[in-house]
Amino acid sequence: MSNPLHDPTRLEHELPMRWADLDELSHVNNVVYLDYASEARAVHVAAGELADRTARSISVEFLRPLLLSRTPLRVTSTDDGSRLVQEIAPATSAAPFARVTWSDAPAPDGDVPGGGEGYDVAVRRSDVGTGDVATPIAVFEYAQEARIASVARVRGAGGAGGAARFVVAQVDLTLGEPFAWQREPYPARTVVTRVGRSSFTVTTLFDEGRRGRAEAVLVGFDLQAQRSRVLDDDERAVLTEQLSPR
Buried b (16+ CB within 10 A) or exposed e, 212-244: bbbbbbbbbbeeeeeeeeebeeebbebbeebee
**Confidence at 218, pLDDT banded by 50, 70, 90:** very high
Looking at per-residue confidence, does 210 or 241 come out higher?
210
Q: End of a domain among 82, 105, 128?
A: 105
Whether 162 and 139 share a structural domain:
yes
Same domain, 236 and 133: yes
Q: Are residues 60 and 120 in the same domain?
A: no
Check residue 244 and give its pLDDT.
56
Query: How much is the pLDDT for 91?
Result: 98
- Would you say 100 and 33 are in contact if contact means Cβ atoms under 8 Å apart? yes
199-206 and 212-222 strand pairing: antiparallel
Q: How many CB atoms lie within 10 A of CB 186?
A: 18
Domain co-membership, 124 together with 73: no
Q: Is 28 helix (H, G, I), strand (E, B) or coil?
A: strand
Strands 73-79 and 227-228 come out as unpaired
- How many other C-beta atoms are found inside a 10 Å radius of the C-beta of residue 184? 8
The mean pLDDT of the chain is 90
Confidence of residue 229 (pLDDT cuts 50, 70, 90): very high
Give the start-end residues of each E strand in 32-185: 57-62, 73-79, 83-90, 98-103, 117-121, 166-175
Q: Which tens digits make up the pLDDT trace of 16-62?
A: 999 999 988 788 999 999 999 999 999 999 999 999 989 999 999 99
Domain total for the chain? 2
Count Cα neighbours of 15 within 13 Å in the Cβ-side half-sphere: 19
Q: Indicate if 137 and 245 belong to the same structural domain.
A: yes
- My answer on whether 40 and 117 are in the same domain is no
Give the per-residue pLDDT at 1. Answer: 35
Q: Are residues 45 and 56 in the same domain?
A: yes
Same domain flag for 126 and 56:
no
pLDDT in tens, 64-100: 999 999 999 999 999 998 899 999 999 999 999 999 9
| 77 and 113 co-located in one domain | no
Q: Are 50 and 78 a contacting pair, CB within 8 Å?
A: no
How far does Cα 121 stand from its chain's mean position? 16
Cβ atoms of 76 and 50 within 8 Å: the answer is no
Which pLDDT score is estimated for 3?
47
Contact 198, 231 (CB under 8 A): yes
For residues 238 and 245, what is the distance between their CA atoms, to the nearest angstrom?
A: 13
**How far is the C-alpha of 2 from the C-alpha of 149, rounded, in Å?**
45
Which of 72, 105, 138 is the endpoint of a domain? Answer: 105
Domain CATH number, residue 150: 3.10.129.10
Q: Please check whether residues 3 and 122 belong to one and the same domain.
A: no
Q: Which residue has the higher pLDDT, 108 or 236?
A: 236
Q: Which domain holds residue 177?
A: 108-246
pLDDT of residue 188: 97
Query: Residue 83's beta-bridge partner residues?
Result: 103
**Claim to verify: residue 33 and residue 120 sit in the same structural domain:** no
My answer on whether 112 and 221 are in the same domain is yes
Last residue in a domain, options 105, 123, 151:
105
Over residues 123-178, the pLDDT tens digits come to 999 999 988 999 999 999 999 999 998 887 676 555 444 555 889 999 999 999 99
The tally of CA atoms less than 13 A away on the side-chain side of residue 132 is: 3
